[in-house]
């Protein structure tokens, strides 16, 4: 395949993935990715059984899948902010491994899919294969093309490492947290039950800058954008018993139907909780946040 045609196909595929993910709430189902078609051609975006997808005719890898086993992934284990992706079993210089290595030379962007739970994938793109560690049987994947031009990634300066770690938090951990929380709440606002994924966020109960603010579902609430904003501005609070409370000053305010029906009418409602007890918001974390809410509220009833 002509390199310009391949590059154009990658752009179209990434545009489609981005559009579908935004509509869903930040993720795609396995069947959407396997059923992708373009120009009357079946072109699965992930492989049916392997982590590396190399479509016929492509000079280098299109996508890779990384399974998450916890709130963070292998990026955290290296302290360099880069993803170390294992070789495909078999000959390190043939097959999938050869096309991953070719991506270093071509500079073609890839899609990284994080599999947070079975059958659901969070896309991170574009990413770039920037190095090959044969002694470890791993490829090094960066979240910014700039790392292709920083020299030996084994010898990054501390500012470069800090930049890579910041990117990992923004482009890996935050989207992964959103996927886990929205799936736990079945893509539904816990306060008002809105089900449009593109209008939902994963709100931290304890902010992620706090030591208690881990990116796990017990520290998250699926909220529509208006209730997320109200929660962050302490107009809306949630008790440790899962009840919604609205600041009295806001309750007494006279405005329009959005305030009346969108905010004030939520006072006294109970959260819609995840089915799995392990995914439900931590009462201890809610108590931490509730104390902050009541300290800033004029009065709570």
Give the SS3 label for residue 248. helix
The pLDDT assigned to 22 comes to: 94
In this prediction the pTM is: 0.87
Q: Which of 72, 147, 177, 62 is nearest to 109 (CA)?
A: 62
Residue 256 CB contacts under 8 Å (≥ 6 apart), including other chains: none
- Sorted by where each begins, the domain ranges of the chain are 3-180, 187-296
Q: Which of 144, 147, 195, 196 is nearest to 168 (CA)?
A: 144
**CB-CB contact of 107 with 88 (8 Å):** no
CB atoms within 10 A of CB 41: 9
CB atoms within 10 A of CB 157: 10
DSSP letter assigned to residue 270: B
Q: Which of 146, 192, 194, 187 is nearest to 167 (CA)?
A: 146
From residue 226, alpha-carbon distances to 242, 262, 281 in Å are 19, 8, 20
Listed in order, strand segments (DSSP E) in the chain are 28-29, 37-38, 41-42, 52-53, 63-67, 83-86, 110-117, 120-133, 138-142, 200-204, 220-224, 236-238, 244-246
Buried b (16+ CB within 10 A) or exposed e, 213-237: ebbbbbbbbbbbebbbebbeebbbb
The pLDDT assigned to 74 comes to: 45
Spans in the chain with pLDDT lower than 50: 70-76
Return d(Cα 292, Cα 301) in angstroms, integer. Answer: 15
The pLDDT assigned to 2 comes to: 72
Return d(Cα 149, Cα 105) in angstroms, integer. Answer: 12
Q: Which of 201, 275, 17 is nearest to 122 (CA)?
A: 17
**CB-CB contact of 110 with 102 (8 Å):** no
Q: Which of 105, 100, 95 is nearest to 138 (CA)?
A: 100
β-partners of residue 193 are none
**CB-CB contact of 216 with 244 (8 Å):** no
């Amino acid at each position: 395949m002509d390199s310009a045609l391949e590059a154009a196909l990658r752009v179209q595929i990434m545009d489609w993935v981005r559009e579908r993910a935004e509509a869903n709430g930040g993720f795609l189902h396995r069947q959407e990715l396997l059923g992708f078609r373009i120009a009357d051609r079946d072109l699965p975006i992930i492989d049916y059984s392997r982590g590396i997808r190399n479509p016929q005719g492509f000079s280098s890898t299109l996508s890779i899948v990384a399974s998450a086993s916890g709130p963070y992934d292998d990026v955290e284990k290296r302290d360099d902010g880069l993803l170390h992706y294992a070789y495909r079993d078999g000959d390190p210089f043939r097959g999938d491994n050869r096309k991953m290595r070719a991506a270093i030379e071509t500079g073609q962007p890839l899609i990284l899919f994080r599999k947070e739970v079975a059958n659901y994938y969070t896309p991170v793109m574009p990413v770039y294969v920037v190095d090959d560690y044969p002694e470890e049987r791993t490829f090094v994947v960066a979240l910014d093309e700039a790392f292709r031009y920083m020299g030996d990634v084994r010898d990054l300066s501390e500012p470069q490492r800090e930049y890579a770690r910041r990117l990992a938090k923004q482009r890996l951990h935050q989207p992964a947290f959103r996927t886990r929380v929205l799936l736990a709440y079945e893509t539904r606002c816990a306060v008002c039950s809105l089900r449009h994924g593109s209008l939902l966020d994963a709100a931290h109960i304890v902010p992620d800058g706090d030591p208690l603010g881990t990116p796990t579902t017990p520290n998250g609430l699926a909220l529509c954008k208006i209730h997320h904003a109200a929660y962050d501005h302490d107009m809306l609070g949630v008790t440790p018993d899962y009840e919604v409370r609205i600041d009295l000053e806001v309750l007494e305010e006279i405005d329009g139907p959005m305030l009346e029906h969108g905010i004030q009418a939520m006072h006294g409602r109970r959260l819609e909780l995840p089915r799995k007890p392990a995914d439900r918001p931590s009462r201890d974390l809610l108590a931490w946040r509730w104390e902050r809410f009541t300290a800033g509220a004029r009065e709570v009833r």
